[in-house]
Amino acid sequence: MQVYRLLTEEDDAVFCHKVTEALTKGWELYGSPTYAFDPSTNKMRCGQAVVKEVSDDFVYDRDVKLGAL
């Protein structure tokens, strides 16, 4: 079974570190990154979807912290 996360952050090194951390924990890039202007902060934001294979025994629950998988 796969689980999915969308990582987002302002366009700075924090975003790159967030994605790199996910990759080191076994997450894989899913699709292309996205880049958009956030008018509420007047800054550009980045997004990257990531997926990870988990055991078929995994029981999904809305309260699960996906980043902890």
The pLDDT, as a whole number, for residue 18 is: 96
Any bridge partners for residue 44, and if so which? Answer: 37
E strands, the chain, in order: 2-10, 28-38, 43-53
CA distance 40 to 19: 23
Confidence of residue 23 (pLDDT cuts 50, 70, 90): very high
The pLDDT, as a whole number, for residue 19 is: 97
Q: Can you tell me whether residue 67 is helix, strand or coil?
A: helix
36-69 tens-digit pLDDT: 999 999 999 999 999 999 998 988 899 999 988 8
Q: Please give the model's pTM, rounded to 2 decimal places.
A: 0.88
Confidence of residue 9 (pLDDT cuts 50, 70, 90): very high
The pLDDT, as a whole number, for residue 6 is: 97
